[in-house]
Amino acid sequence: MKKKVTNCESCVNFVYDEELGCEVCMVNLDEDEYLRYMESSFDSCPYYQLYDEYKTVRRQN
């Protein structure tokens, strides 16, 4: 099965959960939001924040 590429993979809220053994979204989605996500029609997530590890470095320079 091919893994879908989504914005989630570059989001700050998408983290690895050791108990579950997989990556999960840390935002508590309501039922409608979760349904849209599962149907892959969640194109513009209102909770998406780009994970940018170099953001702090750019501010220092």
Residue 2's pLDDT is 46
Structure tokens at 14: 């998408």
Structure tokens at 34: 């979760």
What's this model's pTM, rounded to 2 decimal places?
Answer: 0.59
Report DSSP letters for 32-44, one per residue. Answer: HHHHHHHTT---S
Residue 58's pLDDT is 62
More confident residue, 17 or 61: 17
Query: Which pLDDT tens digit goes with each residue over 20-55?
Result: 999 888 988 888 887 877 776 666 777 888 877 676
Q: Residue 56 — pLDDT band, cuts 50, 70, 90?
A: low
CA atoms of 52 and 18, how far apart (whole Å): 22
By the 8 A CB rule, do 34 and 42 touch?
no
Say if residue 3's pLDDT is above 50: no
